[in-house]
Chains A and B, each alone.
Chain A
Amino acid sequence: MELTGAEIAIRCLQEEGVEYLFGYPGGAVLHIYDALFQQDKVKHILVRHEQAAVHAADGYARSSDKVGVALVTSGPGLTNAVTGIATAYMDSIPMVVISGQVPSYAIGEDAFQEVDAVGITRPCVKHNFLIKDVKDIAPTIKKAFYLAKSGRPGPVLVDIPKDISSHKAEFIYPGSVTIRSYNPVGKADNTQIERAAKMLLEAKRPMIYAGGGVVLSGASLQLTELVRMLNVPCTNTLMGLGGYPANDKQFVGMPGMHGTYEANMAMHHCDVLLAVGARFDDRVIGNVEHFAQVPRKIIHIDIDPSSIAKRVKVDVPVVGDLKLVLEQLLGALRSSKQKSDASAMTAWWKQVDEWRIKGGGLRYKNSTEIIKPQFVIEKLYEITGGDAFITSDVGQHQMWAAQYYKFDKPRRWINSGGLGTMGFGLPAAMGVQLVNPGATVACVTGEGSIQMNIQELSTCKQFHLPLKVLSLNNRYLGMVRQWQQFFHGNRYSESYMDALPDFVKLAEAYGHIGMRIDKPSDVEPALKEAFARKNDLVFMDFRTDPTENVFPMVPGGKGLSEVILAEDL
């Protein structure tokens, strides 16, 4: 039986096992919405802005290892989605975005709500397609899911002109897909594995630096085994938090601009650095020249060859899927007759522990007068037993959440690391809650970020998503203010959030519960009350210290050992 292109598209999503489709209707996708209406396998979540649809699909994917799917209309629907797509691209999140396009005969005529979707998204997708024939819909969507999920994951856009979605064709969903120009790697070359194993065993000061790739590849267990087998210090990047348990004694905290003193010093002074699914980001290693001053051997495992030797010189490049590569490496280490230099390792750990003491750990001066944002995160950690899914927006609150919530499991920490997208947290939390029904999901945000997608409180009401929103409200764009204080002579240019809404009333207006917390002594009771309300979304407006800064801090352009500790100021 022949189906319309729209029906075919929805059937494809059914075949892919898509539970939730995040979207917003419009002219060019009316046929697809009509097909959606006439089935009940794929549930549609109507967001209030297309950017949120993509972030929700993103949160869904990050917290579950499934492909997130979003559906938007042409023109402004697509352009609104671009920030979400770029966010997913920077963090390598598997996602398929279907966009409507003006009818194929009108393309290029500046038709109503026409934009060059493929052109606009080209630099921020793994791949994209413009469908020109109804017969291509099924094979293209099959390819899109395959590309999104395999290799280094990423978002894939499928642009479907309106007339194509009304044309008819036989529905045949391909069982498998091969793309001759695309062959993602699996296992790594054994010679490289042997070289890596030898180098690690010969090291005097080895260190493991693990990034988001560990989470994406599902390689946490393998990483944990490796870290313990080698008895080395391990650091997880912002994207990799939870990839290695934060409460373990071999964990030295997050590296980078707001990483711990010990993580940064160990990264800087180690003699062999094993980078696992991490990309030596500027926010992680700071100044490249400064980093290169210390001679150290680098072994870099990544699924994407272009991530290797992009910013730093690498001695042993290893290309492959982390989970498989780490299995190979574990095997090579087990069968090796060589053993690590025990006395060198003892000395190395002594040094790392000295840095731990010198850095003084993550710390802040608590107050009985004013709420310290770090205190809120510490209490959040306690009250949720460290087991919640935490999404965040971008800024100081993001760094505090990353520092003070000790993630022991992967896929629990959901944030926009690469693009740094304010407005990500709330919609991402919606996706997290939908794919993890019954789980505790909290969004740590600020009064600046939350207003970038606050309309989603309405979506949460419609779909009964009992999120807990913790807004660390310091009346400033805190991270901007911090940089202005440190590097721009206290000139707080446009970083002050004047005329804020009454967030309690705002939450109530959307049909939720709002709480305002002013005193440190009220933090714990408020959190307890909020998290006890299993079926309600609770918006907590914490009035926090407007002058608090994020420490430690490696200033932009500086090296990892040039860190500013809290007491230095």
Chain B
Amino acid sequence: MAVVVAVAPEQRVFVASQWQLMWWRFRKHKLAVASGVVVLGFYLVVLGADFLAYADPDVSEAQRSLMPPQRVYWFDGWQFGPYVHGFKGARDPQTFKRVYVADPSVKVPIRFFAEGFEYRFLGLIPTTRHLIGVDGGLDASQTIFLLGTDVQGRDLWSRLMYGTRISLTIGLLGVTASLVLGVVLGGLSGFYGGVTDTIIQRTIEILRSIPTIPLWMGLAAALPRDWSILQVYFAITIIISLLGWTELARVVRGRFLAMREEDFVVSARLVGCTELRTIFVHMVPSFMSHIIAATTLALPAMIISETSLSFLGLGLRPPAISWGVLLQQAQNVQTVAISPWLMLPALPVIVAVMAFNFLGDGLRDAADPYGR
């Protein structure tokens, strides 16, 4: 019995495919698995941002300007029935602040799968259902503000959902772009060497020698101011991926150089594999781990880049909504002093960046099953 138990896993290891090995190894890294779930969650938000939002992120209303987050009561009596209290708002004549007083006599029940503003789910199915909402949909006299509102009375929760969508897709697109650039240029550089190598390597050095933030700022400032939000969005993606590819290209090139003369590559060539087959079937899988690690670790860098550019007012601009835009609108004295909840969008930035880093860590370890 003991023998069987001891031998079986080992045999499994011998016959398992590379992906299986990676998965087994990855599962052991608890933090990475947890981070993976968080990342998955973030991308679910990306897909269902309009479903998770309950208010139109652009609808403003002065009578609820700068409302603090509402307290949610989960139980109505002994029964589960989340609700928030209604509120009355007025401007305090002495302090000029808007003051909101909860009115305990009015209960606004939170409904699941409630009616709200119209949107297309996944960009396809037109619907008005949202995860949460209030009775009466758009015509309701009272509504909910889970994270409070901004100066224009727009719901922060809903804006955060939309911001997440934009910020995370920019990261993803940016990384994809730099991945393609990095593998292709790095591969060319390493495989052919010579003049190609020199040109590509010197370009990388020049790009890397320029401090990133000023370079981004310069490029972002060069974007025509009359571009539409969509154009700016793609331009920003390209700008931040423009630097991201260099590190990856270096790694790929080094690997190619080292492996070019390895026995298995030489034998592949000798048995008559084409260059393409040699590269993609024999060489690339052997440094897959590096590519995956570099990609996941580049993602948070991309997210931070977009956020900082927008925070500096150089990236996305309102009416676009991204984490950076939300934070940019919070960078003033009055936010710190009277409406600190507007700084909440910093939280998902931190969580997302950390989750991606742990996930990348786990993946790197896992992708190199024979390592350590």
Partners in one complex: no
Interface residues of A (CB under 8 A from B): none
A-binding residues in B (CB < 8 A): none
